[in-house]
Each structure stands twice: as structure tokens, then as C-alpha cells.
Amino acid sequence: MKTVSNDSVYDVIIIGGGATGAGTARDCALRGLKVLLIERHDIATGATGRNHGLLHSGARYAVTDRESAEECIKENMILKKIARHCVEKTDGFFLTLPEDDLGYQKTFIEACRAAGIEAEAVDPKEALIAEPSANPTITGAVRVPDGSVDPFRLTSANIIDAKLHGAHILVYSEVTDFIFDNDRVVGVKVRDHVSGEETNRYGNIIVNAAGIWGAGIVRKAGISINMFPAKGSLLIFGHRVNNVVLNRCRKPANADILVPGDTICVIGTTSDRVPYDTIDDMRVTPEEVDLLLSEGMKLAPSLEHTRIIRAYAGVRPLVAMDDDPSGRNISRGIVLLDHETRDGVKGLISITGGKLMTYRLMAEMATDLVCAKLGVSAKCVTATEPLPGSRNDSPEEISDRMSSVYANPMRSSAGRHGDMAKSISHDTEYDLSLVCECEDVSLGEVEYAIENLDVHNLVDLRRRTRVGMGTCQGELCACRAAGLLAKAHGCASKAVADLRNFMNERWKGMYPVSWGETLRENEYTLWVYAGVCGMNRKSEDKPEAKSECKSKGKSVKKEGNHEI
Amino acid sequence: MNVQTNNVSENNFEQCIKCTICTVYCPVVPVNPLYPGPKQAGPDGERLRLKKGVFFDEALKYCLNCKRCEVVCPSGVRVGDIIQSARLKYSKHKPSIRDMILASTDLVGSTATKMAPIVNPVVSSKPAKALMDGILKIDHRRTFPAYASETFEHWFRKKAAPLQSAFAKQVGYFHGCYVNYNYPKLGQDFVKIMNAVGYGVSLVDKEKCCGVALISNGMKKTAKKHAAHNTAAIAGLLGRCEAVLSTSSTCTLTIRDEYPHLLGTDNSAIRDGVLLAVKFLYSLVDRGEIRLVFRKDFSMTAAYHAPCHLEKLGWSIFSIGLLKMIPGLKLTVLDSNCCGIAGTYGFKKENYEVSQSIGQPLFEQIRSLSPDVVATDCETCKWQIEMSTGFKVMNPVSILAEALDVEATVEENKKAGR
């Protein structure tokens, strides 16, 4: 093992590249700290990218959890300002169905208002005009300021800003152990998943922001956090059925939120406790698919006939209170643990619990504690400082200016990258040609992402651009994108292996819903890749796949570690 | 659980598996780089438009609505309908005076026929063409169809109507604007054949233009009025007729399919009763209900062009089948190609070049065959082919009428008690 010689001690090392970790990296960097973030996979791969993408108004928690509701509406209003290109102000309806108690509506509205959430009863007829997909038998509707948020864009924007302020980000790198100096954690041992190389990294404070995986992380320091992994499954439909978020006006239950997000809509979720040792392999079961569909159809009956393109599941990092080892009193609130006072381990804190909606607040709380420990007095500015992409014109303003032919790919990329889209080259027919036809991702945008957004493989590219997220699930775009990655990285065999992984990863999500058109399309995809591209052969059979490419391309960065 | 047994919503685009066959067969794609092609304009674009209407691309106006994308789609996606519906729903482009003139076939036709002796030479004169080109943006290279001096309806009322009640069997006739204002001869040929095989003919009460030009020029409201009127009038006629026939493939397609798909007009009561005359005739012959006797001295070489909308209906085999019954006719079936005119599309100055480029392969094949006539079931194909190749174009019904030995046919059908 070697110690990376050129970097001295970081002020703070953050473990985990989800929204919370990225937000903490940004907050710390903005306060002038020297930051290193370490992520096992790519950014936003855990629970951050595996939820509804709902920009909660807080209404869902108003009756049962006032504190969460208040946090949500505050963060909701903040994100609508600082992350305009990541959110969409759709509004939401809380619908009362004939089987629900209409009396709950009054309790609900009062609880919302008490938490500072605008909630207004709407005549069911008017609600149906505003959102024609809603169940026509509704007996009541309440309008709240829900919206949708793209967690990939949000996390990426935080990473970009952290880097702009000097943070170092290591992806595909896993913390394998802590380095102690007596009772103080002074660093971490890191394994690079690509090169296999191991290094030591030193920091004054280590922040565990690894979500559900955080329990496993601190165990390496001999610390126990009582976490209860709760699996939540969701279904993605092929297009938008609704343009307003639909919820049930009752106590939170299974499959009672339908969120329109970009070109698709998502129904979810289920909620089931799962053993901690299964959290790396979440699969959606047929029973969950049935439940999501049958409940979802009550919100929007047309879901019965709408093509489902994917199923996926995430794991909520639920934390039991320290005085409640059985987990009966589980909190969905934010949990900030100072392991010095709690466990006698200096230099280590954990920020966990919470939800995507409150990532910024969690980051602020963690950073406040880091600063207190380091004696830094800088104040948090993330509630007012817009993220990169939302600093100048809004996607709508950019889009309104476009009237030329071929404007659609430019509109789409403005929607995805906000004001950063001006760096995307759309000057030539080549730049404007489409890589991903479902999601309107141009070649210019893919090249921009590869060049600027730390794309190591096709899955990374998907999170940055939506390549492969449409109805064809990579059928036509994946091979084109693989070609561009091969060109950028100067290695075709790596790109072929990457393409194979990508298509298998797509299939994993299609498998639980593989019937009808989704199955037909997958069969066609198989023809394209196995038949036309000859990818049905095992890689061992192909001599060229054995030869590892050396770093020929410009984008193979810094041998040995995956700093981005 | 019994959900999602049919996971295809009314949107219809969800069956698309992106195979791209539609774009390969689109006649516009190879000649107009500004057109995104049917897959992107249709199912792909629709997903984006459902996200936000701002994703409507005005380039969708380059779609010919030829429906060849729908014919080739192996997944049954109504690609052309998706594109036309999107244009009607989202386009901010208001129909210009030119578009309104081109689309208002009824109004223009009824005025022009009254003054045909003046209108025809004027419209075909160079100064008038230059004026229309400059002011209205109707391309000066385009030849306008001549207007008849007497409408078909007028002729029918005076000459044919009194004789029709003598026939035991009856059919209705949706003549369309072209027969009424430009070429009554085709309607007369139709009546001649039907009468010869023992059918009386009735017209649709106060028939209005089917509306195809109104739809393609974005005038949905007027089109819906026409659709409502025609649907009711045809329903009335079907009460006493075996079918309502048309000699225009486009009128037939519009009434049968565009009414419900694009205008939301419920035509379920009449749809199956609206047929192209050739299909009806062919079926009668096929079932042995009528016989056609042809002139022994008839001799002709013909090249048959299947109009796009007839291919969409799947009925070009009936035109070809009927023509093949004529002993003196040497028939060549042309390759499947779009002629490029697409109704009013090719008249517009901005589309002229594209329109002619699309038709090029068809024109070349016709020239190489050099037939006596080109046969086709569509009036605008006729204009386009006549203007672009100089060859004479006839509707299969007119060829049939010309080849028919009327007296022998009448005798044969009477004798057989048919």
C-alpha cells in the first residue's frame, strides 16, 4: 500500500457521493475547507437515484410528522431557487377516492397550513380539468406545491460546484478501513475499483454520508448504528401520464404517489424491511409490481394500459433511535451523529436518515459540525447561492429563444444542464445528430458530458444525459454512445465490455415488467446486439477483448486513481 | 392479476419499438433534410410533446401525410396520425390566405365552375401564374387542374337522376370535389358502369368536401363540420343503398379513417359501408353477382400507379384485379412510390422542389415504360404525373368504362337474372 505523497491532510474527507455527500462537499468547499469526497461507484448511485424524484412540498408528512413537513417545504422553496434546472414546478394533488374518508381532507389541510405549506381544496371537476389522468371518481382534491426533481442533475451540480471550489472527488473508490491515531480517526484506506490500487488518505474530520451503507462504514471503526434498511420499489412508465403529481389524501401508504419526471412518470413506492446483507442486490418482485400497478391505477386509471419500461428499488436509510434497539421507534428525520461524544471516536461524524428533499439541510448540519470541530466560522450560503446550471437563464428562457430547425435537441439539453448548456457545441449537423432518439440527446451533448461531467462508462453517461433512459432502453443509443466513449477513451475493447454491462444493467430493470411491448422491444434489442453486433459471444472467445488498452485517449485520466 | 393484458394506451405510440422502418420508407426524408422523419416526428416526438408542448417542431409541416409510414410499420403504430394530430393540436402557424384558398375546394370549385371559360385560361396564363406565385406563394411551375363548365351534380340531376329509380339495386356515390368541379367525366363513367351492371346511383345529400385539404392546412373546425354533415348524410343513404362508393382513394380514406383518428368524429355507423368503387365492383364479380363484358376492339397499354392512400387502405389489388380483367389491356404495375404532390402540399411554393424530387423515381419509370396511359385512383396523383411526365392519366373506373361493352354487359347481367 502506498500513501499518496502529493497531498497533505484534507480538512474533511466525505464518504459517499449521493446527494448528501455531494451537498456536504459543496458546502464545505464553499466555506473554504480542503475537501476530498470518496464514492464507491458513480455519484448518485444509491438511494439518491432510486426514489420518485418527488420534490416534496411536505404535505405527505404534514399530518404524521410535522418536523419533516416543515423541513420539506423550506427546502422545496430553496431548491426552486437554487436548482431551477433540476426541478419542475408541477404542483401536486392529494386525491380523495370514494374508498377514502373525505373527513381526512380537513385534518390534512389544517396540518399543511400549520407546517407552512399552501394547501387549497379544489373542486374535483376542476382538478380533473387540470389533470385529466386523475381518477374520475375522486370525491376531493387538494392542491399543494409539490414538484419533481432530477436527483442525478442535482447531485452532479453539487459535485461541479464543489470541484469549482477546489474539492477533490474520487469515484469508483471504496473506503476499506479507517486509519487511527489512538482514539482519533485520521484517515481512510481506499481501494480503487478499476486499478485495484490501495492508498491512504488523511483528513482532520471524516464525514460518513454513505446512506444505508454508512452502518457498514462505521462498523469498521467499531461503531454501531442501528439501521433498518427499508426497500422501496417503483415502476417507470414509458411517457407522462400526468403533469401534476398525484397523491392519495390519506395517511401515507404503499404506491400512492405518481410523479411526472422528465419524459416519464413513476409510481411508488412499496416499503419492506430487508436484511442488511441484501442491500447491494435489490430486485423487484412480481408481488411488488402487482401492488404498484393495482394501487397506481386507483390514482390514474390509464396506468392499466400504459407501457411500463422499468422497475427499480432503492433502500431507505432508516435509523433507530439510540434508546430503541428494537427499531420500533424509527425516525425518517435527519440523524447527525458526533461519534466523539456518542462513541468516543474523535474525528468521525455520520449524517444519515433524512431524504433527498432535505439533502441540502443535512449537508448544512454536517458542515456546521465539521466547522465547529475545526474552529472555522464561515457561514453556510447554500440556501441562497444557485447551483451551476441555475445561475443565469432558466431552461425555459433558453428554450424560448430557440426557434431554429433542429431546436429540440438544444431544448432538451437546456432542460438537462440549465445554463451550462451553452458550453455544448451544437454548431454542426454532426453535433446536432442524435445519439439517443427517445430522450433527444445530441452527439454534442454526449461529447460535452464525456469531456466535462466525469463520465467513465455508459451508466455514468446515462445519469448525466438520460442516454438509454427512454422507451428503447439502450436499443439504438447504447452502441452509438459506446462508440463515442471508445473514441474519447481511445479503447474499443473496454467500450465493448462496458456496452455489455450496460445492456445487462438495462435488462435487470426490464425483467420484472417484461411483457407486452417492453418484452417485444427487448427481443428486438437482442437481435440488434446479439445478432447484428455479434455480442452474444462470450468475451473470452474474442481475442481482441483480452488485450487491455493502455491510456491512449485523452480522457483516461491520471493513472491509478479515479479522481474526477 | 389481470392487469396490463393489453398495455397499449389510446396514444398508440407505445407499440413503437424504434425499428426505424418508417423513416426508411418515408419519401420526404431522402429529399428534405429539414424533416426529422416519421419516427422522430411521430412516436418519439409525441413523448416529448407530452412532457411540454414547446417540443412541437414546426418542421412537422413537411410531412406529406402519405401514410406510407403506417403501411410499413410492423407494430401497427399510426405514425401519420400522430404527426397530423400534433400539427392540429400544437401548430402556432395560422393558415394563410393561400392555404385557405387551396383548402376550400368546395367554395373555390363552385365559383370557378360558374366562370370556367374565363377562369381556366386566366389561371393557366403566365401573368396569373406569376401573380399567384408572388402574392399567394403558389408555385408558378404548377399546372392547375381545369375547371368544368358544368358541375357533376348539375349534370347528374338533369341527365341521370330520373333514370336511377328503375334499378332494383342501389348504391350511393360520394363524388368528391374533383369529380364535381374538375372532371365530371369520371362520375359519368362511374354511373355508366353501375347502371350497366344493374345498380342505380344516388348522391350524398348536399355532399361537402371530405375535408382532407382542410385537415392538412390546419383548419380543423371547418373539417369537423364537414365530417359531421357527411357522416349523417352517408348514414341516411346507407339506409337504402348497399354501399356508398367513391372513385377517389383519398376521399375514401379520409371518411373511413381520418374522421375518427384526426377529427374525433364517430363514423362507426358508416365506416364499413364506405368503399372505393373498384373494391365493390371487384367483389361483385368475384362473388359472381355481376359480369363485365369488354369491347373486342379495345386495345391499350397502361402503367398502374397505386396512390399512397390506396396502399394505406390496402385496396390497390382491387384496381389492379379489375384492370387485369380487360382482355385488350396490357398492364404494368409500377413500383410503389409516392408521386410527391400530396394534395395541396405540392402546390405550395416552398414545397415544389421537394414534391418533384419525391416523384422523380416514379416519373422515370413511367417514361421508360412509355405506356398509352397511366392508371391511378387519385386525382392529385393524376395532376402531378400529367404535369411532370406529359403522359395521360386515367382513373381505373374510366378505363373500365371505356373498355366496357355496355350493351353486352347490360344484356349479360339481365339474362343471368343478376
Judged by CB atoms closer than 8 Å, whether chains meet at A440 and B48 is answered as yes
User: Is residue B198 a part of any domain in this protein?
Assistant: yes
For A263, which residue in chain B has the nearest alpha carbon? B51
In this structure, the answer to whether residues B190 and B263 fall within a common structural domain is yes
Mean pLDDT for chain B overall? 93
pLDDT in tens, B219-267: 999 999 999 999 999 999 999 999 999 999 999 999 999 999 999 999 9
Q: How far apart are CA B397 and CA B378, in angstroms?
A: 11
- In this complex, the residue of B14, B19, B57 whose CB is nearest that of residue A307 is B14
What percent of chain A has a predicted confidence (pLDDT) above 90?
A: 82
**What mean pLDDT, rounded, does chain A reach?**
91
Spacing of C-alpha A234 from chain mean position: 14
Chain A residues whose beta carbon lies within 8 Å of the beta carbon of residue B8: 305, 307, 516-517
Answer yes or no: is B417 within a domain: no
pLDDT of residue B10: 65
> Do B231 and B347 have their domain in common?
no
Q: What is the pTM of this model?
A: 0.91
Partners of B12 on chain A (C-beta within 8 Å) are none
Best of A408, A428, A439 to mutate (most B CBs within 10 Å, chain B): A408
DSSP A139: S
Q: Is the pLDDT of residue A433 over 80?
A: yes
Surface-to-core class of residue A336, CB atoms within 10 Å of its CB (0-12 exposed, 13-18 middle, 19+ buried)? middle
**Beta carbons within 10 angstroms of residue B375's beta carbon:** 28
A interface with B, Cβ–Cβ < 8 A, is 238-240, 260, 262-263, 290, 293-294, 297, 302, 304-308, 399-400, 405, 407-408, 411-412, 434, 437-438, 440, 470-472, 475-476, 515-518, 520-521, 524
| A414 closest CA partner among A424, A428, A429, A403 | A424
Is the Cβ of B47 closer than 8 Å to some Cβ of chain A? yes
Of B286, B318, B350, the residue that ends a domain is: B286
What residues in B contact A308, CB-CB < 8 Å?
4, 7
pLDDT the model gives residue A398:
77
B50-79 residues touching A, CB cutoff 8 A = 50-51, 54-55, 57, 59, 75
* Contact check, Cβ <8 Å, B55/A411: yes
Within chain A, all domains assigned CATH 3.30.9.10 are found at 87-147+228-317
B18 touches chain A (CB under 8 A): yes
Nearest residue to B75 (alpha-carbon basis) of A54, A215, A523: A523
Does domain A2-47+152-226+322-374 match CATH 3.40.50.1220? no
Asked whether the beta carbons of residue A293 and residue B3 sit closer than 8 angstroms, the reply is: yes
> pLDDT tens digits, residue range A104-121?
999 999 999 999 999 999
Hey, which of A31-35, B58-62, B124-128 has the most confident mean pLDDT? A31-35
A300 — pLDDT class (breaks 50, 70, 90): very high
Task: Reply yes or no on whether the pLDDT at A202 is more than 70.
Answer: yes
Chain A interface includes B21 (CB < 8 A): no
Q: Can you tell me which residue has the cell 427517445?
A: A438
Q: Average pLDDT in the A233-240 region?
A: 96
Residues of B with CB below 8 A from A399's CB? 54
Q: For residue range A499-515, list pLDDT tens digits in order.
A: 999 999 999 999 999 99
Interface test with B, best of A239, A469, A513 (most B CBs within 10 A): A239
Q: Are residues B76 and B21 in the same domain?
A: yes
* Strand stretches in A227-273, DSSP E: 227-237, 245-248, 257-261, 264-268, 272-273
Strand order in the sheet with A87-88: A54-55, A147-149, A87-88
Nearest to A305 among B7, B39, B50 (CB): B7
pLDDT at residue number A73: 98
Q: What pLDDT is attached to residue A400?
A: 72
- What pLDDT was estimated at residue A560? 43
Please report whether residue B280 resides in a domain.
yes
Which tens digit of pLDDT belongs to each residue from B321-368?
999 999 999 999 999 999 999 988 888 998 999 999 999 999 999 999
Contact across the interface for A305 and B16, Cβ inside 8 Å: no
- Non-local CB neighbours of B410 within 8 Å, separated by 6+ positions: B196, B198
Q: Per the CB < 8 Å rule, is B8 touching A516?
A: yes
Residue A435 has pLDDT above 50, yes or no: yes
Does B409 fall in a domain? no
B261 and B162 in one domain? yes
CB A474 within 8 A of CB A468: yes
- Mean pLDDT of the A163-189 span: 97
Does A470 sit within 8 Å of B51, measured CB to CB?
no
CB-count exposure of residue B283 (10 Å: 0-12, 13-18, 19+):
middle
Does B102 lie in the same domain as B58?
no
A17, A285 in Cβ contact below 8 A?
no
Q: Is there a single domain that holds both residue B271 and residue B328?
A: no
Q: Which residues contact A178 (CB under 8 A, 6 or more apart)?
A: A185, A187, A188, A189, A206, A220, A221, A348
Chain A residues near residue B9 by CB distance under 8 angstroms: 302, 305-307
Inter-chain CB proximity A405 and B34 less than 8 Å: yes
- Nearest 5°: phi and psi at B74? -80, -5
Residue B123 Cα distances to B110, B111, B131, B143, B147, angstroms: 16, 14, 10, 9, 10
DSSP for B125-137, written as a single string: SHHHHHHIIIII-
Domain that holds residue B387: 300-403
pLDDT tens sequence across B129-168: 888 888 888 888 888 888 999 999 999 999 999 999 999 9
Q: What is the pLDDT of residue A557?
A: 43
Domain count, chain B: 4
- Residue B306 forms part of a structural domain: yes
Tens digit of pLDDT for each residue in B92-105?
888 888 888 888 88
Pick among B50, B56, B58 to test the A interface (most A CBs inside 10 A): B50
CA distance B44 to chain A (A): 6
Q: Which amino acid is at B358?
A: I
Task: Using the predicted structure, report yes or no on whether residue A556 has a pLDDT greater than 50.
Answer: no
pLDDT at residue A40 above 50? yes
Name the residue among A306, A408, A438 with its Cβ closest to that of B55: A408
Q: Could you tell me if B158 and B265 lie in one domain?
A: yes
Q: Which residues of chain A neighbour B40 with C-beta distances below 8 Å?
A: 434, 437
pLDDT at site A555? 43
Residue with cell 425499428: B19
Q: What is the CATH number of the domain that holds B72?
A: 1.10.1060.10
- CB–CB of A437 and B9 under 8 A? no
Residue pairs between chains A and B whose CB atoms are closer than 8 Å? 100
Fold for the domain defined by A87-147+228-317:
D-Amino Acid Oxidase; Chain A, domain 2 (3.30.9)
Check residue B194 and give its pLDDT.
98
The ipTM estimated for the assembled molecules is: 0.90
Whether B275 and B198 share a structural domain: yes
Residue from A437, A475, A510, A524 to probe the interface with B (highest B Cβ count within 10 Å): A437
Judge if B160 and B232 occupy the same domain: yes
Instruction: Examine the fold and report which residue of B90, B110, B127 is the final residue of a domain before the chain moves on.
Output: B90
pLDDT at B395 over 80: yes
Q: Give yes or no: residues B324 and B385 share one domain.
A: yes
Residues B332 and B257 in one domain: no
CATH classification at residue B350: 3.40.50
Q: Which of B224, B258, B286 is the last residue of a domain?
A: B286
CB contact under 8 A, A472 and B48: no
User: Considering the domain boundaries, does residue B58 fall inside one?
Assistant: yes
Give chain A positions within 8 Å (CB) of B18: 437-438, 471-472, 475-476, 521, 524
Residues B54-60: what's their mean pLDDT?
90
To the nearest whole angstrom, how far is the Cα of A86 from the nearest Cα of chain B? 15
For residue B413, tell me if it sits in a domain: no
